[in-house]
C-alpha cells in the first residue's frame, strides 16, 4: 500500500505549476531581453571597467544569481511532480509500504538478517540426483503400496487405515506446555480440510486422508514449554528425532506447537520435508477453521508440495499469504502430477 498522492490531484498541481512557470518565463523574457541589450551596449562603452568588485560587476552577479535561482526552482518543482506521478502510478513510492503477509524464515545456514526471506518455507541446497521414491506407489503419497496393504512399514511403523489407492498423510502433533493441545473440533477441521482438497485418486475418490496422532505416548504434550526464538533450521529439526518419533522418522510428518517468534511469524516448515512448527496460541476462529488449523495446513503443504510453480507460495489458496481456505489450482496440479515431493535433505541427512 503506497502512501502516495492521488493521481488526479498530482495532475492538477502539475498543470497549475506549468502555467505559473510559463507566465514567469514570459515576464523574465520581457525584463531580461531589454536589460541584456542595454548591458551589451554599456559593456561596449565601459570595456574593461566591469570588475566583480565594481558596482557594475555586482549588478551582473546579482542578476545571474536571480536568473539561476528562479529557473532552478522551476526545474525542482517539475522534478518533484514527476516523481510524485511515478510513485502514484506504481513507480517509486513517496511513502512507506505495508505488507502484513511477510512472515520470514531463514535458510539452514543463515543466521543473519540478510538470510531472512519473505516466506516461512525453509529450503536446503542439497544435490537432488540421489532422491528416490518408493516403488510401487500408485497414489504418490511416498508410501509403498505393499506397506499400505499390510498397514505397516518394514521397520514396524504402523500405518492405520492406509489405502494404496488414495493419498495418505500421517502426522504426529506435539505441543509445548505453554499452549493448548489440538481440540477435538480442530482435529475434525483438519480431516475435513484435507479430505475436501480437489485431488483425484486412483481409487476414484478425491482428497487426502490425514491421519493425526496428537495423543500420548508419541503425540500430545512434550512436557516442557516450546518457545521458538532461534530462526535457523536447526530449531525446526531439534524435535524431529528418533527420541520423539521412534521409527516414524521420514514416514510421519511432525507438527510442533509452541510460542513462535518473531511476532510476524505464525509458523515455519521444511519445504519439502517432514518438520514444521506452528504458533499454538492462534486458537481463534478464522473462517471455517481455527487460525492454527489454517497455519498447520499451510505448513504441511510446504512439507508435501515443496516447490510449486518455481516458488513456495501461490497467489491464492492455502499456500498464499492471504486468508484463502482452499487448495489452489497450481498446488493441485503439482500434487496431481508428481505426488508428494521427496526431500533429498531428509533422505540423505536425517532418515
| Tens-digit pLDDT profile for residues 22-49 | 666 666 556 554 554 454 344 333 344 3
**pLDDT given at position 79:** 43
Burial 50-78 (b: 16+ CB within 10 A, else e): eeeeeeeeeebeeeeeeeeeeeeebeebe
Q: Among candidates 96, 76, 77, 78, which has minimal Cα distance to 4?
A: 96
- The span from the CA of 334 to the CA of 306, in Å, is 9
Q: Could you tell me how many helices (H) and strands (E) the chain has, helices first?
A: 9, 10
Q: How far apart are CA 128 and CA 27, in angstroms?
A: 74
What is the reported pTM?
0.67
Please enumerate in sequence order all residues whose Cβ is within 8 A of that of 266, keeping only pairs 6 or more positions apart, or say none: 103, 120, 260, 278, 279, 282, 291, 295
Residue 313, pLDDT above cutoff 50: yes
Instruction: Label residues 15-42 b or e (16+ Cβ within 10 Å = b).
Output: eeeeeebeeeeeeeeeeeeeeeeebeee
Closest Cα partner for 2 from 76, 85, 82, 79?
85
Cis amide prior to 125 (ω within 30 degrees): no
Pick from 68-82, 160-174, 229-243, 334-348 the range whose average pLDDT is largest. Answer: 160-174
Distance CA 225, CA 329 (A): 38
* Residue 116 · residue 105 · CB < 8 Å: yes
Q: Per-residue pLDDT for 107 more than 70?
A: no
Residue 72 predicted with pLDDT over 80: no
> pLDDT-based confidence at 8, cuts 50/70/90?
low
User: Between 346 and 289, whose confidence is greater?
Assistant: 289
Q: Lowest-confidence range among 95-104, 127-136, 142-151, 222-231?
A: 95-104
Q: In the chain, helix, strand, coil percent, each to 5?
A: 40, 15, 45
> Is the predicted pLDDT of residue 206 greater than 80, yes or no?
yes
**How does pLDDT run across 179-205, given as a tens digit for each residue?**
999 999 999 999 999 999 999 999 999
Per-residue pLDDT at 296: 97
Q: Could you tell me whether strands 275-279 and 267-270 are parallel, antiparallel, or unpaired per DSSP bridges?
A: antiparallel
Weakest-pLDDT range from 17-21, 98-102, 285-289: 98-102
Mean pLDDT of the chain: 76
Output the pLDDT for position 110.
Answer: 36
Q: What is the pLDDT of residues 240-268, one digit of tens each?
A: 999 999 999 999 999 999 998 887 789 99
Q: Give the pLDDT score at 229.
A: 81
Mean pLDDT of 146-162: 97
Q: Where are the alpha helices (DSSP H) in 107-247?
A: 145-150, 184-195, 233-237, 242-245
Give the CATH fold of the 113-349 domain.
Answer: Collagenase (Catalytic Domain) (3.40.390)
Q: Which pLDDT belongs to residue 123?
A: 81
* Mean pLDDT of all residues in 262-283: 91
What is the per-residue pLDDT for 283? 94
Q: What span, in angstroms and rounded, lies between the C-alpha atoms of 266 and 44?
A: 81
First CA to last CA across the chain, in angstroms? 45
Residue 6 banded pLDDT, cuts 50, 70, 90: very low
Q: What is the pLDDT of residues 327-343, one digit of tens each?
A: 999 999 999 999 999 99
Residue 199's closest CA among 208, 211, 190, 191?
Answer: 208
Q: Which residue would you say has higher pLDDT here, 293 or 310?
A: 293
What are the residue ranges spanned by the domains of the chain? 7-88, 113-349
Q: Tell me what pLDDT residue 10 has.
A: 47
Are 320 and 328 spatial neighbours (Cβ–Cβ below 8 Å)? yes
Q: Using CA of residue 307, residue 310, residue 311, residue 313, what is the dihedral sign?
A: negative
Amino acid at each position: 500500500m503506497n502512501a502516495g498522492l492521488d493521481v488526479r490531484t498530482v495532475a492538477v498541481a502539475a498543470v497549475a505549476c506549468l502555467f505559473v512557470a510559463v507566465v514567469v518565463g514570459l515576464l523574465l523574457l520581457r525584463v531580461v531581453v531589454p536589460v541584456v541589450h542595454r548591458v551589451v551596449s554599456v559593456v561596449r562603452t565601459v570595456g574593461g571597467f566591469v570588475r566583480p568588485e565594481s558596482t557594475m560587476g555586482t549588478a551582473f552577479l546579482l542578476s545571474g544569481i536571480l536568473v539561476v535561482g528562479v529557473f532552478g526552482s522551476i526545474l525542482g518543482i517539475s522534478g518533484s511532480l514527476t516523481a510524485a506521478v511515478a510513485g502514484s502510478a506504481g513507480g517509486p513510492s513517496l511513502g512507506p509500504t505495508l505488507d502484513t503477509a511477510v512472515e520470514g524464515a531463514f535458510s539452514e545456514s543463515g543466521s543473519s538478517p540478510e538470510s531472512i526471506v519473505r516466506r516461512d518455507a525453509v529450503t536446503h541446497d542439497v544435490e537432488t540426483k540421489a532422491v528416490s521414491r518408493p516403488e510401487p506407489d500408485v497414489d504418490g503419497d511416498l508410501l509403498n503400496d505393499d506397506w499400505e496393504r499390510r498397514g505397516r512399514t518394514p521397520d514396524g511403523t504402523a500405518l492405520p487405515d492406509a489405502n494404496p489407492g488414495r493419498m495418505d498423510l500421517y502426522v504426529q502433533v506435539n505441543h509445548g506446555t505453554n499452549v493448548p493441545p489440538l481440540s477435538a473440533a480442530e482435529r475434525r477441521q483438519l480431516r475435513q480440510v484435507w479430505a475436501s482438497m480437489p485431488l483425484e485418486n486412483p481409487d476414484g475418490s478425491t482428497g487426502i486422508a490425514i491421519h493425526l496422532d496428537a495423543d500420548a505416548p508419541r503425540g500430545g504434550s512434550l512436557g516442557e514449554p516450546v518457545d521458538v526464538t532461534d530462526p535457523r533450521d536447526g530449531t525446526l529439526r531439534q524435535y524431529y528425532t528418533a527420541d520423539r518419533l521412534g521409527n516414524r522418522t521420514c514416514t510421519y510428518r511432525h507438527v510442533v506447537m509452541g510460542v513462535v517468534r518473531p511476532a510476524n511469524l505464525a509458523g515455519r516448515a521444511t519445504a519439502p520435508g517432514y518438520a514444521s512448527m506452528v504458533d499454538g496460541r492462534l486458537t481463534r476462529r478464522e473462517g471455517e477453521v481455527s487460525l492454527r488449523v489454517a497455519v498447520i495446513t499451510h505448513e504441511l503443504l510446504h512439507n508435501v508440495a515443496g516447490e510449486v510453480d518455481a516458488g513456495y507460495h501461490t497467489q491464492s489458496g492455502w499456500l498464499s499469504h492471504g486468508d484463502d481456505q482452499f487448495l489452489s489450482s497450481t498446488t493441485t496440479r503439482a500434487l496431481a502430477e508428481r505426488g508428494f515431493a521427496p526431500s533429498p535433505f531428509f533422505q540423505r541427512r536425517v532418515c
